[in-house]
Each structure stands twice: as structure tokens, then as C-alpha cells.
Amino acid sequence: MPFDYLIVGAGFAGSVLAERLARVADKRVLLIDKRSHIGGNAYDHYDESGVQVHRYGPHIFHTNAREVFDYLSRFTEWRPYEHRVRGVVEGQEYPFPINRDTLNQLYGLELDEAGAAAFFERVREPRDPVRTSEDVVLNSVGRDLYEKFFLHYTRKQWGLDPSELKAGVAARIPVRTDTDDRYFTDTFQAMPQHGYTRMFEAMLDHPNIRVELGVDFEDVRRRGTFAHTVYTGPIDAYFAHCHGRLPYRSLRFEHEHLPDTLRYQSVGTVNYPNDHAYTRITEFKHLTGQQHAGTSIVREYPQADGDPYYPVPRTENELLFKRYEAMAEKESGVTFVGRLAQYRYYNMDQVAAAALVAARRLLG
């Protein structure tokens, strides 16, 4: 069948758009992905031992946007889940983000809420303006906590010093004077009951949507033109890197199954800011609630080369992105949306929201 739209990338951005265009506007959509599966980086599956894992690292759904939550709820039921993380410093595990318990355990104190606030006030190094991720952390918790929890993790994750990254990176992490040890405080926090992949399958289950996997845009683009294209891959690749390469940070995922182990660690994710080449270990059964005699974990090793996972928020990169964005605006018949195409450090819900906006715009 002839198609009205070509959509490149079957992650959140591409799948939401395919669903909207097909279901709301009765458009015929060809959705391609160069990978062998749908779901983009949120793809999950059962490993060889039958434990549900996320191939591209832990994906925890959280949002304050009711519209996004309601929209996705058409395609999945949910399992309530609030993510907890602990950070290992000098061999001990502490609640992370830093809260009052972190302070009390780390320094052998018995601070109450006002005491914790006074503590941060005493140790913080005020910065004005707050431009970099180093500024953010020093300005709120001071040097010792910065060096114990943030400095080396950030160097490992990005290959950059926090002073070389924009404020928004470290600003993702709150600082608390109470004892709330949840990683997120959003209104809606839940995991798709049967996994992300099943949710994507339900979204794409429509006679107007044809999904072709293992297909690279470069091959399709040579074959002919579509009246409209939605592109969700790296924006610099679309333009053949004509202004130079946009940096994206990559990761290597080391998955491991541990037989006859009900629990490997106390919470979903344990961060290792100062030890090891990996940044964190996630144990999936915490996230999914699956019952199994064994357990499966993943370690994340940051690296410069490989699949693009993170835009790198630095001023110089954003300026380079602007040059590509200016080209994108002139490219008629193409919509650029998603974490790689918009070069924004988006969470899943933000990508879904951006795709819903793009769908509305396309459909007038």
C-alpha cells in the first residue's frame, strides 16, 4: 500500500506518532527501525533464564503529565513502582539522592529536618550564577558531598568534569532535608504491567501501520521520497554530519543472570560513584515485581563510541545543534522529534509529550 508517512525509529517518539497518525487521522504509516525490535531504548524482553530485563539499561516510568499517563494507559495496565537508589561511598550504602538519613549515617549525626537544612546552609558554597553542574552541587551541598557522590560519577558517566556540563544535568538530582528516599517524586510512578515492549505492540497494532525492522533510513531514503517523514534518529546523521559530529554519550551494558538468587541488592539501583568502571547496577526484579528463583542485573559502562544514548549538555554542543536545527526548519516535509533528533536530555514521558505535540501540529 502507498504510505502517507515514513517514520524513522520505533521508540517512544516514532511509535506515539505512528499511533496518532494512523488512529486519529486514518493515515497510512510505514514505521522503520534499523534495530531488530520496536520500543527504542525502552525495549524489554525475557532473558535466557526467563527474567524480564531492559536491554538498554533501567527504564522507570514517572511523570507529572496526566495527559501522557492517560494516553499511555490506553495501551497498558500499570504496576505501581517507586524507584529507590543507594550510593556506595567507602564501602557503605547511603540513600541517594542525598537526604537527612544520608547525612546522619555518613557523618554520625542525629539531625532533624531543621538541623539538616542548617547543615546544608553551613557547608554549601554559594554560586551566583549557577551555570554548570559543579555550581549546582557545590551551591546546594558543598564540597565534601560533591566529591563523595557527584564528582567521580559524573566524570565516569560523561568523560567530563561537572564544571564542563550544563547545570541541568546535576539539577536532575534533588537534595532533601526530609527522609524521602524515592528517586522520583512525580505524581505518576509505575511500570507497564507486562513490559514496555507489550505496550508498544498495542500502540502499533493498527491496520494502517506497517512496521519494518532491520531497515536503515539511508536505504529507504535512496529508494524514493515520501510526502512526509518523521525522523527520530540523531539529527546530525540526517544531514550527513555536514557541520561535524554532534557528541552523544554511549554505554556498554553488561547483563548477568544469577541463578538461585532471590535478591542481589537492597534496592532497584545501586550507584558506584567512586569505584569500578561502571556507574551503577540495576536488579530488574525490583522494577518488574517478577517472581523467579534467580535474578538478573545490568552494569552500565559509559563510553564515547557506540550507539548514541545521551545528548551531552554543553554550550558548545547546543550551538552546534542549533546549526542542524536551522537546517531542520528549512527541510520541508520532515518532522524531527525525540531525544536524539531534538538533542535534549529527555525522559520517556517528555518524549511522549513532544510526540503528542508534533502529532497535533501535523494533523492541524
- Which residues bind to ligand FAD, rule: CB under 6 A? 8-14, 32-35, 40-42, 56-60, 216-218, 232-233, 251, 309, 338-340, 346-349, 351
Q: Are strands 92-96 and 85-89 parallel, antiparallel or unpaired?
A: antiparallel
157 binds ligand UDP (CB under 6 A): yes
Residue 12 contact among ligand UDP, ligand FAD, none, beta carbon within 5 to 8 Å by kind: ligand FAD
Residue 96 contact among ligand UDP, ligand FAD, none, beta carbon within 5 to 8 Å by kind: ligand UDP
| Part of the chain binding ligand UDP (CB under 6 A), chosen from 102-110, 165-173, 194-202, 235-243 | 165-173
- In angstroms, the CA 86 to CA 149 distance is 10
| Part of the chain binding ligand UDP (CB under 6 A), chosen from 146-154, 207-215, 235-243, 282-290 | 146-154
- In angstroms, the CA 64 to CA 264 distance is 31
Q: Which residues contact 331 (CB under 8 A, 6 or more apart)?
A: none
Q: Which residues contact 297 (CB under 8 A, 6 or more apart)?
A: 255, 256, 258, 264, 265, 281, 282, 283, 284
CB of 186 to ligand UDP, least distance (A): 13
Cis peptide before 97 (omega within 30 of 0): yes
**Out of 9, 39, 40, 87, the residue judged to bind ligand UDP by CB under 6 A:** 87
**Out of 5, 61, 94, 96, the residue judged to bind ligand UDP by CB under 6 A:** 96
- Hey, how many other C-beta atoms are within 10 angstroms of the C-beta on 218? 12
Q: How many residues bind ligand UDP (CB under 6 A)?
A: 13
Strand partners, 189: 62
Question: What is the maximum alpha-carbon separation in the chain?
Answer: 69
DSSP 150: I
Residue 173 contact among ligand UDP, ligand FAD, none, beta carbon within 5 to 8 Å by kind: ligand UDP
CB of 58 to ligand FAD, least distance (A): 6
Do 42 and 12 touch, CB atoms closer than 8 A? Answer: yes
CB of 42 to ligand UDP, least distance (A): 13
Residue number with the smallest Cβ distance to ligand UDP: 153
Residue 216 contact among ligand UDP, ligand FAD, none, beta carbon within 5 to 8 Å by kind: ligand FAD
Residue 296 contact among ligand UDP, ligand FAD, none, beta carbon within 5 to 8 Å by kind: none
Residue 153 contact among ligand UDP, ligand FAD, none, beta carbon within 5 to 8 Å by kind: ligand UDP
> What three-state secondary structure class fits 53?
strand
| Part of the chain binding ligand UDP (CB under 6 A), chosen from 106-114, 169-177, 319-327, 334-342 | 169-177
Give the burial string for 248-283 (b: 16+ CB within 10 Å, else e). Answer: bbebebebebeeeeeebeebbbbbbbbeeebbbbbb
Looking at the Cβ atoms of 153 and 200, the one nearer to ligand UDP is: 153
